[in-house]
Amino acid sequence: MKSKKPEDIGEIAVIGVDIGKDTFHLVGFDQSGERVLRKKIKRLSLKSVFEELPRCVVGMEACMSAHFVSRMLRALGFEPRIIPAIYVKPFNKGQKNDYNDAEAIAEAAMRPNLRTVTEKSQDQLDLQAMHRVRSRLVARRTAIINQIRAFLIEQGITVRAGRHRLQSSFETILENRRAEISPRMRRTLLGLYGDWLWVDERIKSISSEIEEISRTEENSAKVMTVPGIGPLISTAIVAAIGKGEVFDRGRDFAAWLGLVPRQFSTGGRTILGRISKRGNNYLRMLLVQAANVILMRPHPGMRSGLARGCAGL
């Protein structure tokens, strides 16, 4: 089916956008569900094309640049909806191609009870980027440390567990075990140690900036009043949910994070399993780590609550 003529374009009720690196595919439907738009456009012409279209609902999958596109369309007067890919998949029909994907997105966007992703502001995206860079650097540092340990073990040298123990004893090991470590292996280990120190400085720099933001950002400062929550977790929460207005209660936030039991209920019988582990893996990891710290070193005001909770088990 071809798109309707330009004079009929005012009938559009919803547009599905399949976002690509250089091209976007648009499929639009009218109120009756008939397709009235099917178009491929360049990324650079996205704004000019939508300026000529009637204001309506615009659906897109949650992917790279979705928040940028959403903010741009909202500024033009459209009603953008960012949809998780898992909720689009049931509407896919036929073979996999960009137009079929855009059509599925448009059909999903028309659903009245659709769950959408909250549009992130530029400040949230900045915070999110900083956390992701820091997370990657921490993973890289761990890989470097593990490689140093592996090379030392190959030389018959073991070091007690812990990053700080290895760092404090590294130069002493190279000096005292000079006869056991070949010059080539020594150069390799020193190169890895230099990488480690550089990554450490990058992590400290980003962590310092995150800590500064946590003190000046209003919502982050409020979150830090919760015991066990510091600059890292508070800014990660703000980057993920902003003010948290999308959640009616704290339990909804816990369910979104995947911290509630997975449910297998049928026939009026409720069966609960392990936690679902849905949602933001990084944020869930940080909160679980904070909970472990609280359990090991309870806040004075939480001791009685923890005691009551343990007594009820």
Among the candidates 191, 216, 241, a domain finishes at 216
Based on the domain organization, do 192 and 227 belong to the same domain?
A: no
Q: What would the two tokens of residue 227 be?
A: 């015991």
What pLDDT sits at residue 245?
84
Within this chain, do residues 195 and 134 fall inside the same structural domain, yes or no?
A: yes
The per-residue pLDDT for range 170-204, each reduced to its tens digit, is 999 998 888 888 999 999 999 999 999 999 999 99
Domain membership flag for residue 115: no
> 98 and 25 in contact (C-beta within 8 Å)?
yes
Instruction: Tell me which range, 178-192, 201-215, 274-288, is most confidently predicted by mean pLDDT.
Output: 201-215
Residue 6: what pLDDT?
Answer: 46
Q: Are residues 127 and 77 in the same domain?
A: no
- Dist. CA 227–CA 216, nearest whole Å: 19
Task: Show which of 88, 109, 130 is a domain's final residue.
Answer: 109
Alpha helices, DSSP H, located in the chain: 46-51, 66-75, 85-88, 98-109, 122-154, 163-176, 183-216, 218-223, 231-241, 250-257, 281-296, 303-311
Does residue 1 belong to any structural domain of this protein? Answer: no
Structural domain contains residue 203? yes
The reported pLDDT for the residue numbered 8 is: 52
Same domain, 160 and 201: yes
Residue with the bigger pLDDT between 115 and 206: it is 206
- The answer on 95 and 128 residing in a single domain is no
Same domain, 163 and 183: yes
Do 227 and 212 fall into the same domain?
no
Residue 246: domain span: 223-305
> Where does a domain end: 86, 109, 132?
109
Model pLDDT, residue 256: 87
Whether 312 is covered by a domain: the verdict is no
Do 233 and 294 fall into the same domain? yes
- Do 101 and 14 share a structural domain? yes
- Tally of structural domains, the chain: 3
Average pLDDT score over residue span 102-124: 91
- Say how far residue 284 (Cα) sits from the centre of its chain: 10
Say whether both 158 and 241 belong to one domain: no
User: What average pLDDT does this structure show over 50-69?
Assistant: 94
Mean pLDDT, rounded, of the chain: 88
CATH number of the domain encompassing residue 71: 3.30.420.40
Q: Which phi and psi angles does 82 have, rounded to 5°?
A: -95, 120
Residue-wise pLDDT for 251-274, tens only, equals 888 888 888 888 888 887 888 888
Please determine, for residue 5, whether its predicted confidence score (pLDDT) is greater than 60. no
256 and 193 housed in the same domain: no
53-78 average pLDDT score: 94
For residue range 70-92, list pLDDT tens digits in order.
999 999 999 999 999 999 999 99
Residues 167 and 227 reside in one and the same domain? no
**Does the reported pTM lie above 0.75?**
yes
Give SS3 for 272.
Answer: strand
Q: Above 50 in pLDDT, residue 48?
A: yes
